[in-house]
Amino acid sequence: MWLLDVDGVLNAADPGWDGEPRQGRAVAYGVSYRVRWAPDLVGRIRQVHRSGTVEIRWATTWVDEIGEIERLLGLPRFPLAFSGLGTAPAVAAPGVKWRAALDVVEVERRPLVWTDDAIPSLGRQLRRLGAGGLPVMLVAPDPFTGLQPEHLDAIEAFLRDPWAAVGDA
């Protein structure tokens, strides 16, 4: 399972990669936001999705308006890790994201990839994700640049053999 955030992960001020970033506007709760992304990053995510090696779920403050992001970036419709954040999604999201990650490893008993620039704010709580012995990969990119090619390389390697990560721990 891959829990995928948007802001600071896909949407970044300077997403880098090789080509020029793309940008557009997405509306959430009646407000228009500028979104910048690396087309090559989105292409790699599409490839991972098509490979069938992982289920990708949105885990973002955008969940209740995710169709805007999917349309703008040209991504397929991924399931939501949660919904119903209300009119103050940034307030509700941290706790809901944490519960979604715990559900993957503790309830669903599945390996987890979680990409979110806010992961470090969880501090000591993060040990709980690996306590059950399942493979867990946490990727907290710099929110200014978002996910980079080396992050996708590491995620794809993890997805090829998630249990190798448990052996390395």
* 27-84 confidence digits (pLDDT tens): 988 899 999 999 999 999 999 999 999 999 999 999 999 999 999 999 999 999 998 8
Per-residue exposure over 66-78, b if at least 16 CB sit within 10 Å of its own CB, e if not: bebbeebbebeeb
Q: Give the number of other Cβ atoms within 10 Å of residue 166's Cβ.
A: 13
pLDDT, residue 169, reads: 43
CATH for 2-168, options being 3.10.450, 1.20.140, 3.40.50, 3.30.920: 3.40.50
Position 87 confidence tier, pLDDT thresholds 50, 70, 90: confident
Q: Give the residue with greater pLDDT, 163 vs 88.
A: 163
* CA–centroid distance for 72 within its chain: 17
Position 127 confidence tier, pLDDT thresholds 50, 70, 90: confident
Cα 66–Cα 1–Cα 26 angle in degrees, nearest 5: 15
Answer yes or no: is pLDDT of 115 > 50: yes
Among 65, 66, 40, 123, CA closest to 57: 66
